[in-house]
Amino acid sequence: MTRKLASVQQILSVQPIEGADRIELVKVLGWQCVAKRGEFQPGDPCVYFEIDSVLPERSEFEFLRERKFRVKTAKFRGALSQGLAMPLATMGVSGAVGDDVTEALGVHKYEPPPSWRQEGRIGLFPGFLRKTDEIRLQSVPEVLDEFRGLSCYVTTKCDGTSFSYANWEGEVHVCSRNSRYGEGNNIYWDAYQKHREALERVPAGLAVQAETCGPSIQRNRLGLHELTLLVFDVYDIRKGEYLDGPAMFAVCNECGLQTVPVLDADWHVPADFTVDDMLEMAKGAYASGYPREGIVLRPNATTYSPTLLDRLSVKAINNDYLLKE
């Protein structure tokens, strides 16, 4: 499911903020954000901008100039605010609930400038692989019901940079999230060389996707002393599908590859479990003491989601982590 940075949505509820006269909390999807008092009523349509959206330089967004027009997680009068809701008329757009207006409004995703070496790029990300981009639970709160009754595994979301490896049709592919890299001054090739023996044990036709973590990468929030690959997916190129959880862990074990930490290998969503409960579950810290980025939830058996129109898999980001960004 493609992430909608800006979309037409509906205000689900409006709540006062204690001690605040000019602002209040509105709920959109599974998110809450601060809005001008009296600007919305429950049921009103709005344009909702997700966190990490970078908005165009328009007068309506002038209050975000100091943040370089980036929408971030913040607190106002002690209330957590994630995203931005604006009236449709103010934005000059129309549409049905769920319509994606990202492109129409000139919104793009914030990408932190890389602090790591990237020389040696030799091409685009190959079309026979799939890019990794988990949807946040708050953007599709209804999908939580699809997990109920399923055996799931919960892993730590590790804060690094995406890495993919595949031996396909006799050729080695080493990739970042968007590009293919060859030998040169870049961390992707370094990670491949450091873990080459284990990676070359992976059967041809299977692609390993991992988080590259360590010194100089994303401020090394995990506190690692060396470049480390932490596998979170194994993709069967021939079948065009991801391996089930147990099969993925088995491949990594047989090849000597480290996986992301598993918090629970057989977890079941409680009957009364909510999005807020999931966000509370996402809290915690890495061994370094820094708040962990969050968690990823997947069924042990790869399952199709009619909501996501893709594999059933979501992430919940730790709000303590977001507030430190």
Tens-place pLDDT, residues 21-61: 999 999 999 999 999 999 999 999 999 999 999 999 999 99
Name residue 23's beta-bridge partners. Answer: 36
| pLDDT recorded at residue 144 | 97
Query: Which amino acid is present at 203?
Result: P
The CATH-assigned architecture of domain 121-323 is: 2-Layer Sandwich (3.30)
| pLDDT recorded at residue 75 | 93
**Per-residue DSSP letters for 22-77?**
SEEEEEETTEEEEEETTS--TT-EEEEE-TTEE--S-GGGGGGGGGTTB---EEET
Nearest-5° Cα angle at 109, 153 to 307: 45
pTM reported for the whole predicted model: 0.91
Pairing assessment for the beta strands 206-213 and 161-168 based on DSSP bridges: antiparallel
Query: Which amino acid is present at 272?
Result: D
pLDDT in tens, 122-147: 999 999 999 878 899 999 999 999 99
d(CA 57, CA 29): 26
| pLDDT recorded at residue 133 | 80
| pLDDT recorded at residue 113 | 79
- Comparing CA positions, the residue from 321, 294, 303, 304 lying closest to residue 136 is 294
Query: With a cut of 50, which residues of the chain have pLDDT below it?
Result: none
d(CA 26, CA 18): 14
8 Å CB contact between 61 and 18: no
CATH of 6-109, one of 2.170.150, 2.40.50, 3.30.1380, 3.40.720: 2.40.50
Query: Which amino acid is present at 163?
Result: F
Q: Where in the chain is the domain with CATH 3.30.470.30?
A: 121-323
Q: Where in the chain is the domain with CATH 2.40.50?
A: 6-109
CA dihedral 295, 299, 301, 305 (to 10 degrees): -110
